[in-house]
């Protein structure tokens, strides 16, 4: 079973617990094109936008990160 905890115990909006292998539903729910477009509007540097695109491309969820939110 996959464990995902975001902003509950330590810090709001940050992934606190990410364990085991990604599940198929994550890409559709966290990394769809519509959510990427929305998040890109809030990035003010090209590096920030490039990093966000990389996270979406790799479907990356990491502890301590705020993306995807």
The Cα–Cα gap between 41 and 49 comes to 9
How many residues in the chain?
69
Q: Which ranges of the chain does DSSP label H, i.e. alpha helix?
A: 24-30, 33-40, 46-58
The encoded tokens of residue 55 equal 């996270």
Q: What is the pLDDT of residue 23?
A: 95
Q: What is the mean pLDDT of each run of 10 residues along the chain (69 residues)?
A: 89 93 94 96 96 97 93
Q: What is the pLDDT of residue 65?
A: 94
The Cα–Cα gap between 48 and 52 comes to 6
Please state the domain extents for the chain. 3-58
Question: For residues 61 and 26, is the Cβ–Cβ distance under 8 A?
Answer: yes
Tokens 């995807």 sit on residue: 68
């Amino acid at each position: 079973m996959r464990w995902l905890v975001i902003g509950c115990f330590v810090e709001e909006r940050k992934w606190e617990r990410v364990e085991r292998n990604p599940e198929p539903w994550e890409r559709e729910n966290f990394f769809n094109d519509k959510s990427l477009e929305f998040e890109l509007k809030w990035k003010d540097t090209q590096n920030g936008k490039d990093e966000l695109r990389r996270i979406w491309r790799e479907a990356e969820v990491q502890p301590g990160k705020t993306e995807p939110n």
